[in-house]
């Protein structure tokens, strides 16, 4: 089961995501990035975080430890932004924390240009995302971190942020285990991910027993609000049954077609060109407020 800790200090909000997680210190002397139950995404985002994150760890992928964080809203009394205080006030009780990776860097397109990812590792990550329908690991928003970034230990990819996965649990009546999704623009598509090798390796390991153990770690309170099910255990069974059926149907959804790095660069260049062409003339010739004639400037840098 996930460890439970108690937050002792609220440090700062993180505004890089729509859920506005916060960095907290806890009574085990650890530091965690906490996603709050009062966030607009709702508790299903936390359910997805637990199921996909723990499945990633069970399959040997690098994912920070998850803990349940008991949070007192009074810890955020000095937060200056009202919307963040409202979030904290709505999140008393048990929330979800992820071990903080100090100094970790986002896996951005610029980092991807110089970072080497083995096709086997890329295939495993893409396979997990396809199984759990995580459509939020793209070239524009990778939800991957590079860590460590100091010392002599070589940097590695770490998975984070799976709140947008398991999209089927928002519409159980239309959930289809064999459904394929578009993963051509996955953040790791440029590395020729070997998804067939990943399927052969990982699919046999995703058993009903493993799924039941993982889903059991989701707190009852995060499942009790789903109107589709009478009890939390009934909801757990639905997750287990759907994911187990989906892994057995991998031949129908396994992504294998990814654009090359050159093709992605070409698509991005065309996107930027369309964006510039669609701008009004006055925005294409913004005057130089520092005195340099507009005709002498390369405005494409500012309009990207």
- DSSP letter string over 92-147? -EEEEEEE--TT-EE--HHHHTT----HHHHHHHHHHHHHTT----BSS---EEEE
**Residue 293's pLDDT is what?**
43
* Contacts (Cβ under 8 Å, ≥6 apart) of 86: 38
**Residue 303's pLDDT is what?**
34
Rounded to the nearest 10 degrees, the angle between the axes of helix 208-215 and helix 232-248 is: 140
Convert the pLDDT of each residue in 248-295 to its tens digit.
999 999 999 998 778 877 887 888 888 777 766 655 554 444 444 434
C-alpha torsion 213→219→220→225, nearest 10: -120
Convert the pLDDT of each residue in 61-74 to its tens digit.
999 999 999 999 99
Other Cβ atoms closer than 10 A to 2:
18
d(C-alpha 5, C-alpha 18), whole Å: 24
**Cα angle 136-91-229, degrees, rounded to a multiple of 5:** 65
Q: Which DSSP state fits 186? A: B
User: Residue 53 in contact with residue 35, Cβ under 8 Å?
Assistant: no
Q: How far apart are the first and last CA of the chain?
A: 47
What radius of gyration, in Å, describes the C-alpha atoms of the chain?
22
Burial bucket for residue 299 (CB in 10 Å: 0-12, 13-18, 19+): middle
**76: three-class secondary structure by DSSP:** helix
- Domain-by-domain residue ranges, the chain? 3-99, 105-253
pTM for the predicted model, two decimal places: 0.88
Burial bucket for residue 60 (CB in 10 Å: 0-12, 13-18, 19+): exposed
Of 48, 212, 31, 265, the residue nearest 143 (C-alpha): 48
Whether pLDDT at 1 is above 90: no
- DSSP letter string over 14-62? -TTSTT--EEEEETTS-EEEEE-TTSTT-HHHHHHHHHHHHHHHHTT--
**Residue 301's pLDDT is what?**
35
High-pLDDT (> 90) share of the chain, %: 79
- What are the two backbone dihedrals, phi and then psi, of residue 285, each rounded to the nearest 5 degrees? -125, 50
d(C-alpha 138, C-alpha 122), whole Å: 13
Convert the pLDDT of each residue in 166-185 to its tens digit.
999 999 999 999 999 999 99
d(C-alpha 71, C-alpha 85), whole Å: 13
């Amino acid at each position: 089961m996930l460890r439970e800790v108690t937050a002792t200090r609220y440090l700062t909000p993180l505004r890089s995501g729509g859920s506005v997680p916060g960095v907290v210190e806890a009574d085990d002397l650890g530091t965690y990035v906490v996603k709050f139950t009062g966030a607009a995404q709702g508790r299903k985002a936390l359910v997805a975080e637990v199921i996909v994150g723990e499945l990633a760890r069970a399959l040997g992928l690098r994912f920070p430890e998850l803990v349940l964080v008991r949070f007192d809203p009074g810890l955020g009394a000095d937060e200056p932004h009202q919307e963040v205080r409202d979030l904290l006030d709505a999140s008393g009780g048990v929330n979800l924390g992820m071990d903080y990776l100090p100094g970790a860097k986002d896996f951005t397109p610029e980092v991807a240009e110089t970072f080497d990812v083995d096709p086997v590792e890329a295939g495993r990550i893409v396979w997990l995302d396809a199984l759990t329908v995580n459509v939020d690991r793209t070239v524009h928003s990778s939800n991957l971190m590079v860590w460590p970034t100091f010392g002599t230990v070589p940097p590695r990819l770490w998975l984070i942020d799976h709140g947008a996965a398991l999209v089927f649990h928002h519409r159980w009546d239309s959930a289809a285990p064999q459904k394929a999704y578009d993963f051509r623009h996955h953040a790791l598509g440029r590395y020729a991910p070997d998804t067939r090798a990943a399927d052969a390796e990982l699919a046999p390991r995703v058993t009903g027993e493993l799924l039941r153990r993982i889903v059991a770690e989701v707190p009852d309170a995060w499942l009790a609000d789903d109107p589709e099910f009478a009890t939390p255990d009934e909801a757990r069974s639905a997750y287990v049954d759907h994911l187990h059926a989906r892994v057995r149907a991998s031949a129908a959804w396994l992504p294998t077609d990814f654009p090359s790095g050159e093709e992605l660069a070409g698509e991005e260049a065309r996107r930027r060109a369309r964006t510039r062409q669609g701008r009004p003339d006055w925005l294409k010739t913004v005057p130089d407020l520092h005195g340099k004639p507009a005709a002498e400037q390369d405005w494409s840098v500012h309009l990207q």
